[in-house]
Structure 1
Amino acid sequence: MMNNHDYSSNPASLENFYIISELQFLEYTFEWTKQVSSTKMPCKIFADKDSSTEKMLVQVHFNDATIQSLLSCIGVKHIHARFAIANKYQPYKIKSPTFTIVIYATDQLGQRCSAYHLGRPQYDDTIVVSGDKPFQGVGNFISSRLAQEWIDGWKMVCDGNPKAPGCLSELFLTNYGYLTGYNYLMSDFMYSLFPPGTQKECYDLVILPVIHKHVSNNLIGQPTLSRTFGLVLAGVQLLTDDSAVDNAEEVKTFYDLSLPTPPNHISL
């Protein structure tokens, strides 16, 4: 269990953090497990309920204060991203079941050493994929071309037939069961935020939903073309609440989160 410090003497220090309790974490992640394993998972959990055009999720945002907090945890070795459905969360004005992501840190023993941080769902793009090559030799970066292909795959799912819940839940089904999240190694997490050669010092973080299209090996019949939900991570300049689209930024470094849960409940 994480240490319980008393912050009551300085409550303002927590103003920029969007933290949920362990009970909320269990409730939100259980709701995801329940919804995704059904054949009628509603697409509206990925939609902006306040939009007349039914905008769909394009990214989940975490602010700079959250990132600094995670990087500052004593003994941190892994960062975990877990899928969640928040029913109500006043700071984000969530009033009905909404898909989002929770991130937290663990140490080398798998013990949690941070709070649970809830990401803000965003339905407008704040990044433009650069055509430049990513930094080479450090970190698990992917090419901008491949990142754009994956990002476009999710947009095609949203634009093509967002009212097909059966098809939607299949995107999260793997040989090991339904996806509940992904895991980061701490070193790769840091590289994705602060790529070598960058001049930027302050980063927010966006996690983008993507679709991986791949040819899977079918042991019984012929190989089939499969689509699987994934995540890519990008560090971006500090964003404001009111100008997400106006602050669109060209990004050329994307990190592919390649350790799914299941089977990797704890990164090794």
Structure 2
Amino acid sequence: MAGAGTQPRTLWLFNLGSKLLLGDYLDGDDFETLVSTPGVAVIKVRFGFEPGENPFKLVLFGVDSAGQIITPYYAHTPADFREAGEGPGGNVPDVLARQWIKYWERKGHEGEITSPLFRTQYGFLNGYNYPVKELLAALFRFEKMPKIYLRFVLHRYFPAANEEVQKELTGSYAFGLLFQAISNKEDGSGALGIDPDSGYYDLSAPCPRTC
């Protein structure tokens, strides 16, 4: 989003008819190799675009404590279009996670997912960083490696008392990600279901400033 303009514009790629893009799945095997890399300290999630029908991408990779990239890049095209969706709490309180989810769904269904939602007081968001040790906290309750779900949300906040910044940060909302481990249902259908012990984990270190 770094090259986006400052004027509001609808980002149509998050809508498919009456459905809204809610998030992205990361295969459990891919996640295992990310967090198992010797020396990995932080998993970085970056936002990317490429020509095509679904241009928005999530790109994940791992770095060590010195910031050196030590894993391959894992690029995904999110495709979880649904009317709505919720889940249980984790280290993010359930009541707060539901609020963030509600903001995303409300603005999405009203056609108000615009470029200023990807802007913070630090500039346009390139992505988020997440410490590996916190990601691993979501896996303790699982017997088999789950799929990983990156849930799209909006954070509502008030910027510092700077008139120029406040004018640019329309509505004081910012795009965010919630991390969740999800297991397969045990009914043999192969469908994905929310594990009652998984919960949400907040990807809360934005780039910029913590790139």
Offset at residue 190 of structure 1 (A): 1.2
Distance 2:142 2:28 in 1: 16
1:152 aligns with 2:102: yes
Offset at residue 118 of structure 1 (A): 1.4
Matched residue, 2:66 = 109
Distance 1:216 1:42 in 2: 23
Structure 1 residues 215-230: aligned runs within 5 Å: 215-220=158-163, 226-230=172-176
SS of equivalent residue, structure 2 residue 19? coil
Offset at residue 247 of structure 1 (A): 3.0
**Could you tell me which amino acid in structure 1 is paired with residue 56 of structure 2?**
F
1:237 aligns with 2:176: no
Distance 1:220 1:113 in 2: 41
Offset at residue 43 of structure 1 (A): 1.9
Which range is displaced more, 200-209 or 254-263? 200-209
Question: What 5-or-longer segments of structure 1 have no aligned partner?
Answer: 1-31, 88-94, 135-140
RMSD (CA atoms)? 2.7
1:206 aligns with 2:149: yes
SS of equivalent residue, structure 1 residue 142? coil
Matched residue, 2:81 = 123
Offset at residue 84 of structure 1 (A): 1.2
Which range is displaced more, 230-239 or 172-181? 230-239
Distance 2:162 2:10 in 1: 31
1:170 aligns with 2:127: no
Matched residue, 1:249 = 194
Q: Identify the match of residue 2 of structure 2 among 28, 33, 41.
A: 33
Matched residue, 1:69 = 33
Contact 1:56 1:123 in 2 (8 A): yes
**Could you tell me which amino acid in structure 2 is paired with residue 249 of structure 1?**
I
Question: What 5-or-longer segments of structure 2 have no aligned partner?
Answer: none
Distance 2:84 2:108 in 1: 18
Say which structure, 1 or 2, has more relative contact order (CA 8 Å, 6+ apart). 2
TM-score normalized with structure 1 length: 0.67
Offset at residue 55 of structure 1 (A): 2.3
Q: How many residues align?
A: 202
Q: Give the structure with higher Rg (CA).
A: 1
Contact 2:182 2:192 in 1 (8 A): no
SS of equivalent residue, structure 1 residue 158? helix
Q: 1:173 to 1:199 in 2, by over 3 A?
A: closer
Offset at residue 172 of structure 1 (A): 1.3
Distance 2:121 2:39 in 1: 33
**Could you tell me which amino acid in structure 2 is paired with residue 231 of structure 1?**
L
Q: 1:86 to 1:47 in 2, by over 3 A?
A: farther
**Could you tell me which amino acid in structure 1 is paired with residue 122 of structure 2?**
Y
